A and B are shown apart, each in its own frame.
Chain A
């Protein structure tokens, strides 16, 4: 026993010695400047700008991400053909985290030194796990999440209307249509977590403002049978259902809404719907669902949306189209403008890029998403939405029923970190 303890004891001693060794070795970020005086930083070379992508190509969001990436690629090809940004070609470097936080945690330090910023970081568990890293490395990151809870993060970009505002706008739409009235009860199914909690904040605000009640139903992301919840909604006599759920949960809620004879209209945040749902037995019941999103529906008549859609179908005839094509393309447009702004200020370092973001109060994407204002910390970059109704004859599965609009309650709503 004595013998076998010796080496470990040495190891402990060694570790302590190591820990006690003082000394300074400052590693400064070696930011230089190029010939034209533009300050550079990680991910910037003389002829290229590299943006990172951390996505899920093999986990639960694989179909969502696949079309999103197609959108990125279309933008990158286009902008590079026109000479790039700041006389540099845009390059994307991607990693697939498979929707696992531990994988993303390991990948981040591997990818981060090579990129100027992140074009995409998908999934709220990953965003939560990497928050500290992102702040430490001061790397501007476009999150694929629309939670207004993230708006206190200085380096995180949320493109468009947040979940709470989507729900408020959607319920306002039903109110205007006469499907809801004072004294009614709304049933809200939401996934416990950043996504669901943020959506629920919206319906609570709406209910309080308009004298309605909310019947809350919390689920986990793997629950798929919504029968007992809809049974409960029926006994609570709800007149509309709000969804902040996954597509499979949406399908089940829709089926049981019809199956159990409740038959009320449903509204949902942008992630609740996936075109693949139209191939399931739930398809007929889904026509009662309105999807509220700041991104344009794939099949919209907005000219730029049409242009991107046509090109996408030509290039990817076998892939099921989705609104994430235009959304991914719009993400590119936004990054393009931020980088251009940083370039104009002759500072492509991480600090320069973030400063460019903070001063961007009017970013436009040809109405792929509404105009965006990133200059007010804590406040969502937009409050307007498109509304699409599920329709199996439209490519992408959604028929636009409401063009970009900001409903009255969305105007007055104060987001969690808004001052």
Chain B
């Protein structure tokens, strides 16, 4: 029983971070229709700035800098590249982000050289024992931060003018434009939020507690694991991203314990394929309209 509880704790802790990443994907997709393959490199960008500044400025300041850089980096990509081709085919735009991702990732990895710098000094590697169950501080903080950010986001999404505009735009771009919604601003804001969420996520990813590895190619790879999370929930559903994150985290942890570790990565994709066969647009995604 203790083992089971420990497994659930491990899985939900991971799921919280996957949810942050998946939410970033979804927001960007919803606002601009772009499947952002560069999300992993936003993660690296934020992480890189944070690790390069943490010795001089301390963790908190460097973390804020990292998050801000990731947000601005996303904004830059959107303004300079994506916004130039607003009407391009979604596949072409997805490929565009692959191009960005390849360059950004290779450059950051090259700059890191042999280093494997870790983030999260205040909380990493300081587990709390409750009876026979271990709670990793990184995961607890990730859960708390994730809950706060997600709540803030949903409040903004429901209550602010930006949220209304974004929902309108996701519903029907032309109609939204005719209603006087400025597409540029809404989209730009969505990319900033996506980048910021990636920047926050890396503060938990590049830790001993979460990934066991410092900032590296592996950190970038974890962002790919958030893909299935976003797809399972439905690429245009913000609630779905949260559910998807939790499903992926738990699937990994449970199958690693009760089936086998090697199978755990496949298991996530098996779950994803099953969901897609039953619901081709994910659990909460909008079904594609048929155009004639």
Contact = CB atoms under 8 A, between A and B. Distances in A.
A225 B118 CA distance: 14
Interface in A381-418: none
Interface stretch (A25-33, A252-260, A352-360): A252-260
A228 B125 contact: no
B262 interface: yes
Contacts of A229: 256, 261
A281 B7 contact: no
Given A219-B261, A229-B261, A232-B256, A261 B212 contact: no
A248 B116 contact: yes
Given A222-B218, A252-B213, A276-B114, A228 B208 contact: no
Contact of B261 (A62, A228, A248, A281): A228
User: Is the interface on chain A under 10, 10 to 19, 20 to 34, or 35 or more residues?
Assistant: 20 to 34
A280 B10 contact: no
B208 A276 contact: no
A112 interface: no
B288 interface: no
B71 interface: no
Nearest to B218: A224
B129 interface: yes
B118 A280 contact: yes
Contacts of B142: none
> Which label, helix, strand, loop or mixed, suits the secondary structure of the B interface?
loop
Nearest to B11: A228
A220 B260 CA distance: 13
Contact of B134 (A226, A235, A261): A261
A371 B79 CA distance: 65
A224 B213 contact: yes
Contact of B212 (A220, A224, A235, A276): A224
A232 B256 CA distance: 8
Contact of A260 (B6, B116, B218, B253): B6
A222 B218 CA distance: 7
A346 interface: no
Given A222-B218, A255-B208, A280 B116 contact: yes
A281 B212 contact: no
A214 interface: no
Nearest to A260: B134
A123 to B, nearest CB: 17
Interface in B81-131: 113-114, 116, 118, 121, 124-125, 127, 129
Nearest to A189: B261
A228 B218 contact: no
A225 B252 CA distance: 12
A228 B258 CA distance: 10
Contacts of A62: 113-114
A234 B5 CA distance: 13
A281 B124 contact: yes
A255 B125 contact: yes
A248 B212 CA distance: 7
A21 to B, nearest CB: 44
A225 B261 contact: no
A259 B134 contact: yes
A367 interface: no
B253 A252 contact: no
B61 interface: no
Given A217-B261, A224-B212, A248-B116, 10 more contacts: A62-B113, A224-B213, A228-B252, A229-B261, A231-B7, A231-B10, A234-B3, A251-B212, A252-B212, A261-B134
27 contacts: A63-B114, A192-B262, A217-B261, A218-B260, A218-B261, A222-B218, A224-B212, A224-B213, A224-B218, A225-B210, A226-B212, A227-B212, A228-B252, A228-B256, A234-B6, A251-B213, A252-B212, A255-B208, A255-B212, A259-B136, A259-B209, A260-B6, A260-B127, A261-B132, A281-B118, A281-B124, A281-B125
Interface of B: 3, 6-7, 10, 113-114, 116, 118, 121, 124-125, 127, 129, 132, 134, 136, 207-214, 216-218, 221, 252-253, 256-257, 260-262, 264
Interface of A: 62-63, 66, 192, 217-220, 222-229, 231-232, 234-235, 248-249, 251-252, 255-256, 259-261, 276, 280-282, 285
